[in-house]
Amino acid sequence: MIYIGVTGGIGSGKSTVCSLFGKKGTPIFFADSVAKEISEGEALQEILKVFGYEILDSSKKLDRKKLAGIVFNDPEKLELLNGVIHPRVFRSFEEWKKQDFGASKFALVEAALMFESGMFELVDYVLAVVTDESERIRRVSDRDTATEEQVKARMKNQISLEDLLELSDFQMQNNGSIAELTSKVNFFSTLFSTLKPSIELE
């Protein structure tokens, strides 16, 4: 099985790309969703020890917006949070890999912090989904009812476009229609089916 990491800046549309692959039957590990489950479950008490109970809402559940407001403005606290979450996500991925994927020749691993977290070391190749910054800001603002300043603050905590392109093995531009994106997914699906495991993981 070949594992392809899928990443990209906030608002780039990597989740949409993965959903199109999913419709073709591609197995997908959603690292960000797993991280969310972990932060609200097994790792919650450890997170509370670091950030305090003020990050809980009135129903005693994790207030993700409040936590984000803290970590996205403090790199050290973001690093502390990632230190709690990322190792658990990696273990979950290793368990996920043990299942039977049938005839699938490759699987995807969606992760926003593919390189920042070290997740890239667990996959064979990385596909970067790339979108113009103005379009990314528009998408996130509409999706999260966030201001342009808030979106840009979140962007600052992600890898730069230059570094993203340099570190990734493939890139997919996503500034057009769903039809165009579907065509690109079909192309990469065929390409990924021909790949061999990377040298580092052999």
Residue 87, domain extent: 2-195
- Run of H or E residues at 63: none
How much is the pLDDT for 199?
54
DSSP code string of 113-174 = THHHHSGGGGSSEEEEEE--HHHHHHHHHHHHT--HHHHHHHHTTS--HHHHHHH-SEEEE-
- Count how many domains the chain has: 1
Using DSSP's 3-state secondary structure scheme, residue 10 falls into: coil
Answer whether residue 200 is part of any domain. no
- Residue 175 burial by Cβ neighbours in a 10 Å radius (0-12, 13-18, 19+): middle
Answer whether residue 6 is part of any domain. yes
Report pLDDT digits (tens) over 37-83: 999 889 999 999 988 898 998 888 898 888 888 887 788 888 889 88
- Taking the chain (202 residues) in runs of 10, the rounded mean pLDDT of each run is 94 93 96 92 91 89 86 84 92 94 94 92 96 88 83 81 94 94 97 85 44
Answer whether residue 53 is part of any domain. yes
CATH code (residue 187): 3.40.50.300
Answer whether residue 202 is part of any domain. no
Answer whether residue 93 is part of any domain. yes
Q: Tell me how far apart the alpha carbons of residues 57 and 125 are, in angstroms, rounded to a whole number.
A: 39
Answer whether residue 201 is part of any domain. no
For the entire predicted model, the pTM comes to 0.86
Answer whether residue 67 is part of any domain. yes
Answer whether residue 34 is part of any domain. yes
How much is the pLDDT for 201?
45
